[in-house]
Amino acid sequence: MQSKKHMKAVFKEVKDGKQSRVFMQSDVDIPKIDKYSVLVSVKACGLSNSDDKVLKVLYKDQSKTKYPICHEIAGVVVEVGDWVTTVDRGDEVVGLIPLDYGQSGCAEYVRLNEYDVTKKPPDVSFVDAAGCIGDAVKAYTGLHYLGRLTSGDTVLVMDGASSFGAIAIQLAQHWGAKVITTASSDDEVLYLEGLKGQVARVVDLRKTDNAVSGTDFHPAYMIGSGSNNNNNNANNNTGGSACALLPACMQESGGLGIDLVLDNGVTQFAETSYRILVEDTYDHPVPSKHDIVSCLAVGGRWITSKSDLQLDPPHSQMMYMKCASIGFLFEQAWILSSTQQGRYLHILMDIMEKVSSGVIRPNIHHTISFEDVPDALKSLTDKRVGKVVMKMK
């Protein structure tokens, strides 16, 4: 280790607010550790795309164009600081790289503080550990800390075949919830069929006939319905669409609504002709905020990953009358703050214990080599089932 001073790492270039390219740099200095940190030889890294807006806010330097990419790693500790007590040289560890460290997970080495990682169980592979840790932290945070999930709740998990969705389904079912999820392709439906014991219903967002004909349900208050609001057009941004989500959710909940919703993106407008913002367009069926708010039960919790979500007054009124709440889910909040590190470490350890015991089964789509990372990231958004993981040779 001492003789090697440089390493390879993958970065992305962002210009004018848009990602222009992903590239591999071969002359990156190997990070030097301090007395509280460890140096990890990366063995696997889960591929993901960080929000460019978040990176711009964190780094503040508007002239900066090179940013780290991918932050979910598993590897072996090769150096430890003098004051490190929780891990030792040779330990196999897993964790998330904080966005403000400026280090890519797709690199030969990363430097982390000891509270950023936890030991990986021997019976869990590097690929499984790196492939699930980021989405598991996100799902754990959304369900337990933000959503306050309790046994008997009815939970809606959007995009259940994604890596995040699959883990959220498994955790929610393990904690005693009834789970409804969505799919928008044949591959997603096929994967979710394998989770029949954990999912009460799969709603295919491509269809409008998910509801059983003849079934009546009457939400207590629903904007955009003829009985409550005659101005249910798109100009008011409250008009309901032909989405099958609402009838399916009401049937499964006995007309009471959903206690907890974990979304994976929503549209601001129900009608596609009014989606003029780039952030409001998707290449697959996505429910609108109207659909989600309409599905909520009294006291329901909506946990969203959409950072720029805005509620209109009619939707706010609807949330108020349901005594419902909304929370924003950003898993990096744990490690961008120096507070609650013990709670974050508990999450990491509990996740690894659940992976080891089979409660969580990582949904890995396929693995790639380190050299193939730049090309793989170009088409990453097309992979809607499972996780793509980089595996070091």
Instruction: Check: pTM over 0.85? Answer yes or no.
Output: yes
Q: What is the pLDDT of residue 212?
A: 43
> Does position 265 have pLDDT exceeding 50, yes or no?
yes
Q: Mind listing the pLDDT tens digit for each residue in 197-211?
A: 899 999 998 886 544
Cβ neighbour number for residue 221 with a 10 Å cutoff: 14
Residue 343 DSSP symbol: H
User: Over 70: is that where the pLDDT of 383 sits?
Assistant: yes
pLDDT at 11 exceeding the cut of 80: yes
If you count them, how many residues does the chain have? 393
Q: Is the pLDDT of residue 253 over 60?
A: yes
CA-nearest of 249, 242, 311 to 270 is: 242
Per-residue confidence (pLDDT) for residue 206, from 0 to 100? 85
Q: Tell me, what's the pLDDT at 58?
A: 81
Query: Residue 297: enclosing H or E segment and its boundaries?
Result: strand 296-304
Sign of the alpha-carbon dihedral angle for 162, 163, 167, 168: negative
pLDDT at 278: 47
pLDDT of residue 223: 38
Q: Band of the pLDDT at 148, cuts 50, 70, 90?
A: very high
pLDDT over 80 (residue 295): yes
- Mean pLDDT, the chain, whole residue set: 86
Task: For residue 291, name the pLDDT band (cuts at 50, 70, 90).
Answer: very high
Between strands 201-204 and 178-183, the pairing is parallel
Domains and CATH numbers, the chain: 6-131+338-391 (3.90.180.10), 151-328 (3.40.50.720)
Backbone angles phi, psi at 23, to 5 degrees: -140, 160
Q: Is the dihedral of CA 186, 187, 189, 190 positive or negative?
A: positive
Confidence tier at 50 by pLDDT (50, 70, 90): confident
Per cent of the chain over pLDDT 90 is 66
pLDDT at 339: 76
- Rounded average pLDDT over 140-152: 97
Give the sign of the dihedral formed by CA 111, CA 116, CA 118, CA 120.
Answer: negative
For residue 136, the 8-state DSSP code is H
The predicted pLDDT at position 381 comes to 79
Least trusted range by pLDDT, from 121-130, 222-231, 291-300, 384-393: 222-231
pLDDT of res. 230: 38
Asked if 367 and 168 count as a contact pair (C-beta separation under 8 A), the reply is no
Please determine, for residue 374, whether its predicted confidence score (pLDDT) is greater than 70.
Answer: yes
Alpha helix (H) residue ranges in 214-312: 245-252, 289-295
